[in-house]
């Protein structure tokens, strides 16, 4: 049995499906580690359930055909990452960011974001080798913003033991740095609830760093990027109507919108329905 089902490089790999397609393949090990749970995929912070998700096998594809048509066109721009890194690309041709939105949870936003991230990883690794370059050890990063906020709360609780606080703080600040600097990042579920000023400031710092350095980002959220409801008509006042409400200011929301395309997912939650 060959190994193409366990490797995100299979699409476009000449060895896929041949006798050379096995767990000893150096490229498989580079992407997934010797056990299949390491390598660049694990360094990206992807949850295990998404490490092999691609646009071709995504379970959200059948329910969101219009979304996937748009996303496939978007992924075609990923070859520009090499031109963009070297400064050869015109500003108008920069790789844009995406804001994946639906009012309902469970419509496939996170799954799709993970698939897009894996496509960038594949293009980066293969494209680097073709150009005689060494692929980055972390060309992509996936940040679950809710889990990240949990780590923040964990080490900021009063009288929390050092044995609990220190690992949480270490995870938090490692993720902060990775999310600021990785060439391509997914910020999953950025519509966080009741963020403290400190946490909100760190999230602002990630977004500012990425926009300033022209690094493409995939955002997912159940909150629209911009509401069509006038601020003075937003009742109740504590309900977030758009990302400006979550961030506590409109300026950062405007930065998110810079060279960012909104893609809306339709339908009801499919969580728990697939086998």
Taking the chain (275 residues) in runs of 10, the rounded mean pLDDT of each run is 91 90 94 93 94 95 95 95 70 87 91 97 95 96 96 90 93 97 96 83 93 93 76 55 77 82 86 47
Quote the pLDDT of residue 275. Answer: 36
Domain membership of residue 185 (yes or no) is: yes
Quote the pLDDT of residue 234. Answer: 56
Residue 87 sits in a domain of what CATH number?
Answer: 3.40.50.300
Domain membership of residue 118 (yes or no) is: yes
Quote the pLDDT of residue 273. Answer: 46
For the entire predicted model, the pTM comes to: 0.90
Domain membership of residue 274 (yes or no) is: no
Judgement on whether residues 7 and 125 belong to the same structural domain of the protein: no
Quote the pLDDT of residue 226. Answer: 80
Domain membership of residue 24 (yes or no) is: yes
Judgement on whether residues 3 and 72 belong to the same structural domain of the protein: no
Judgement on whether residues 28 and 54 belong to the same structural domain of the protein: no
Quote the pLDDT of residue 230. Answer: 57
Judgement on whether residues 138 and 9 belong to the same structural domain of the protein: no
Domain membership of residue 272 (yes or no) is: no
Judgement on whether residues 158 and 239 belong to the same structural domain of the protein: yes
Domain membership of residue 42 (yes or no) is: no
> Which residue carries 């996303």 as its tokens?
71
Q: Determine the structural domain holding residue 66 and report its residue range.
A: 47-264
Judgement on whether residues 24 and 69 belong to the same structural domain of the protein: no
Judgement on whether residues 21 and 147 belong to the same structural domain of the protein: no
Judgement on whether residues 13 and 72 belong to the same structural domain of the protein: no
How far is Cα 14 from Cα 20, in angstroms, rounded to an integer? Answer: 10
Q: Annotate the chain with three-state secondary structure.
A: CCCHHHCCCCCCCCCCCCCCCCCCCHHHHHHHCCCCCCHHHHHCCCCHHHCCCCCCCCCCCCCCHHHHHHHHHHHHHHHHHHHHHHCCCCHHHCCCEEEEECCCCCCCHHHHHHHHHHHHHHHHHHHHHHCCCCCCCCCEEEEEHHHHHHHHHHHHCCCCCHHHHHHHHHHHHHHHHHHHHCCEEEEECCCCCCCCHHHHHHHHHHHHHHHHCCCCEEEEECCCCCCCCCHHHCCCCCCCCCHHHHHCCHHHHHHHHCCEEEEECCCCCCCCCCC
Judgement on whether residues 123 and 226 belong to the same structural domain of the protein: yes
Judgement on whether residues 77 and 146 belong to the same structural domain of the protein: yes
Judgement on whether residues 9 and 57 belong to the same structural domain of the protein: no
How far is Cα 118 from Cα 244, in angstroms, rounded to an integer? Answer: 29
Domain membership of residue 275 (yes or no) is: no
Number of domains in the chain: 2
Judgement on whether residues 28 and 59 belong to the same structural domain of the protein: no
Domain membership of residue 207 (yes or no) is: yes
């Amino acid at each position: 049995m060959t190994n193409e089902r366990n490797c995100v490089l299979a699409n476009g790999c000449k060895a896929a499906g041949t006798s050379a397609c096995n767990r000893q393949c150096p490229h498989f090990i580079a992407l997934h580690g010797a056990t299949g749970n390491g390598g660049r995929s694990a360094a990206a912070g992807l949850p295990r359930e998404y490490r092999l998700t691609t646009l071709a096998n995504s379970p959200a594809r059948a329910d969101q055909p219009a979304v996937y048509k748009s996303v496939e066109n978007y992924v075609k721009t990923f070859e520009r990452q090499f031109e963009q890194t070297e400064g050869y690309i015109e500003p108008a041709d920069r790789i844009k960011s995406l804001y994946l939105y639906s009012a309902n949870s469970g419509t496939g936003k996170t799954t799709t974001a993970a698939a897009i991230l894996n496509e960038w990883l594949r293009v980066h690794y293969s494209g680097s080798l073709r150009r005689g370059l060494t692929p980055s050890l972390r060309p992509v990063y996936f940040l679950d913003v809710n889990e990240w906020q949990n780590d923040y709360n964990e080490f900021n609780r009063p009288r929390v033991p050092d044995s609990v606080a220190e690992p949480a703080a270490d995870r938090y600040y490692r993720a902060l740095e990775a999310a600021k600097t990785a060439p391509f990042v997914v910020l999953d579920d950025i519509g966080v609830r009741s963020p403290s000023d400190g946490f909100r400031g760190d999230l602002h710092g990630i977004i500012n760093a990425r926009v300033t350095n022209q690094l493409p980002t995939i955002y997912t959220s159940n909150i629209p990027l911009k509401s069509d409801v006038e601020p003075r008509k937003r009742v109740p006042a504590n309900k977030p109507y758009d990302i400006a409400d979550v961030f506590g200011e409109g300026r950062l929301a405007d930065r998110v919108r810079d060279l960012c395309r909104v893609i809306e997912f339709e339908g009801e939650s499919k969580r728990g329905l697939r086998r």
